[in-house]
Amino acid sequence: MADYIRARSDEQKAERLAQVKAALVHQFATRPYHEITLTTLADELGWSRTNLYKYVSTKEEIFLAVVGDKRDAFMGAIMAALPAGCGFDNATIATVWAGIAAAHYDYFRYADLLFSVIETNVGADKLREFKRGYYQILEPFSQQLAGVLHIAPERVEAFTNTIHFHGVGLAGSCLNNPVVKQVMAELGVTPAPIDFQAEMHDFVAMTLAWYQEHPTK
């Protein structure tokens, strides 16, 4: 805990927000979205709700900030692992991409809530800041990955989104829900296990080949 009582400078406010985000990440790892509230977060931080309201207005604002952090970390990891001029073949690219996706698995869990829940419950200012961050990283990401993937820069976003939403579907599968698991067990049904990294590898390889074979829309 910081040795000041009230955050006054921008640096202190950023530190407080980082504490709030860390509390949310901890709770989302152990409980479903609907059980996380500003009250549970304030309790974990040892703050009053009034104090928490100095930094955020809704829990969705915190989720949005966390998604932004995880998005930037994921895209940054892809850029670091697939540098310009690396000359990797499709099989290697698929292996690298799937490995990074598996290492950032929780990013896809958060993204599962992004469009339907998080973005619809934040103000325009917060959403504008989030979208600005995306487009700022998208430009260098697309320019670098175009040469690595052997597709046009303007097609990189569509390729990446196709991979992304497949990952979101796998990570957000209802089979991960404890209640669904219980019901399936009661029905005597054993779903096939999902190997996230293997599934992502195959999907990246398949999708990349398709985009290379179809250079235009």
Decide: 59 and 38 in contact? Cβ < 8 Å. Answer: yes
In this predicted structure, the answer to whether residue 175 has a pLDDT above a threshold of 70 is no
Q: How far apart are CA 169 and CA 150, in angstroms?
A: 26
Q: Is 189 left (phi over 0), alpha (psi -120 to 50) or beta?
A: beta
Same domain for 91 and 155, yes or no, is yes
Decide: 179 and 116 in contact? Cβ < 8 Å. Answer: no
Same domain for 6 and 44, yes or no, is yes
Give me the chain's average pLDDT, please.
92
Q: How far apart are CA 180 and CA 173, in angstroms?
A: 10
Same domain for 71 and 111, yes or no, is yes
Range 161-180 average pLDDT: 86
Which pLDDT value is given to residue 7? 55
Among residues of the chain, what percentage have pLDDT more than 90?
80
Q: How far apart are CA 182 and CA 166, in angstroms?
A: 25
The residue segments making up the domain with residue 28 are 1-56
Question: Which amino acid, 152?
Answer: A
In this predicted structure, the answer to whether residue 199 has a pLDDT above a threshold of 80 is yes
Residue 216 pLDDT class (50, 70, 90 cuts) = confident
Residue 1 pLDDT class (50, 70, 90 cuts) = very low
Which pLDDT value is given to residue 174? 63
First-to-final CA distance of the chain = 52
Q: How far apart are CA 6 and CA 19, in angstroms?
A: 14
3-state secondary structure of 23: helix
In this predicted structure, the answer to whether residue 163 has a pLDDT above a threshold of 50 is yes
Among 9, 5, 24, residue whose Cα is nearest residue 64: 24
Q: How far apart are CA 166 and CA 200, in angstroms?
A: 8
Query: Per-residue pLDDT tens for 38-47?
Result: 999 999 999 9
- Which CATH number does the domain housing residue 33 bear? 1.10.10
Same domain for 179 and 120, yes or no, is yes
Same domain for 87 and 190, yes or no, is yes
Same domain for 51 and 158, yes or no, is no
Among 80, 71, 204, residue whose Cα is nearest residue 149: 204
- Which CATH number does the domain housing residue 196 bear? 1.10.357.10
What sign results for the dihedral spanned by CA atoms 48, 49, 55, 61? positive
In this predicted structure, the answer to whether residue 179 has a pLDDT above a threshold of 90 is no
Residue 3 pLDDT class (50, 70, 90 cuts) = very low
In this predicted structure, the answer to whether residue 8 has a pLDDT above a threshold of 90 is no
Other Cβ atoms less than 10 A from the Cβ of 147: the count is: 15
Which pLDDT value is given to residue 132? 98
Q: What is the DSSP letter of 7?
A: -
Query: Per-residue pLDDT tens for 51-93?
Result: 999 899 999 999 999 999 999 999 999 999 999 999 999 999 9
Instruction: Give the chain's domain count.
Output: 2
Which pLDDT value is given to residue 98? 99
Range 97-109 average pLDDT: 97
Among 84, 79, 78, residue whose Cα is nearest residue 98: 78
Q: Where is pLDDT greater, at 38 or 174?
A: 38
Token pair for residue 166?
A: 């497949």
Same domain for 80 and 169, yes or no, is yes
Same domain for 12 and 105, yes or no, is no
Same domain for 34 and 109, yes or no, is no
Same domain for 96 and 14, yes or no, is no
